[in-house]
Amino acid sequence: MVENELTTGQPEVEERHDKAEKRRKFLRRIGWGSIAGFIGINLAAFVRFMYPRVLFEPPTTFKVGNPVDYPPGQVNTQFINKYGTWIVRQGDGSFFAMEAKCTHLGCTPNWLEAQQKFKCPCHGSGYYISGFNFEGPAPRPMDRFKISIAEDGQLLVDKSIKFKGMPGKDSNQMHPQSLLRV
Ligand code: FES
């Protein structure tokens, strides 16, 4: 009778033992997983710290070549992509640097050589070569940047100094400091 009880109890004990072992394995896995996760997060934070996020912006001052390279009465569009700026040499030989940004909603107008005007592709604003707005929804002339001569004789534009176009005012008169005569 006793022998019978012992033989029937054996599988139950083994089963309990198996369950306990499985639970231990499971908990061990969770433990190691947590440790690995903790190390991973810290490692990622360390790498992130070693390579800080830096915003590379184009410099605010840049040279645009020699005055002799600019024929009078022309708009130079070669610095649009890099600096968002036109270099304009007026018929009287004076220079100014103009921000290539429509004063309506900020699109980049196109210089139309044949029509001697800037035309915004977004809502049709038009500007004379001086940047004065004469058609479309633009509320004021386009802005200008400071332009001067660098030590090496090249034209130097400084985008940190801006001459804001005023509604109804010609920037040549409003901002004579925006003009460079060489
Ligand atoms: S953004 Fe130039 S006309 Fe609207």
Domain ranges of the chain: 1-56, 61-178
Residue 153 CA, ligand 1 centroid: distance in Å: 36
pLDDT of residue 45: 75
Nearest-atom index, ligand 1, CA of 136? 3
Under DSSP, is residue 45 helix (H, G, I), strand (E, B) or coil?
helix
Residue 167 CA, ligand 1 centroid: distance in Å: 15
Q: Determine the Cα–Cα distance for residues 15 and 11; give it in Å rounded to an integer.
A: 6
C-alpha gyration radius of the chain? 36
Residue 107 CA, ligand 1 centroid: distance in Å: 6
pLDDT in tens, 75-130: 999 999 999 999 999 999 999 999 999 999 999 999 999 999 999 999 999 999 99
Identify which of 96, 118, 94, 77 has the alpha carbon closest to the alpha carbon of residue 178.
Answer: 96
Q: Determine the Cα–Cα distance for residues 136 and 119; give it in Å rounded to an integer.
A: 9
pTM of the model: 0.71
Q: Determine the Cα–Cα distance for residues 4 and 154; give it in Å rounded to an integer.
A: 108
pLDDT in tens, 33-58: 777 778 777 777 776 666 666 666 76
Residue 15 CA, ligand 1 centroid: distance in Å: 79
171 pLDDT more than 90? yes
Which amino acid residue places its CA nearest to atom 1 of ligand 1?
105
4 pLDDT more than 80? no
Nearest-atom index, ligand 1, CA of 121? 2
CB neighbours (10 Å) of residue 168?
A: 11
Which amino acid residue places its CA nearest to atom 4 of ligand 1?
123
Which residue is listed with tokens 């029937």?
A: 8
In CATH, the number for domain 61-178 is 2.102.10.10
Nearest-atom index, ligand 1, CA of 120? 2
Q: Is the CB of 129 under 6 A from ligand 1?
A: no
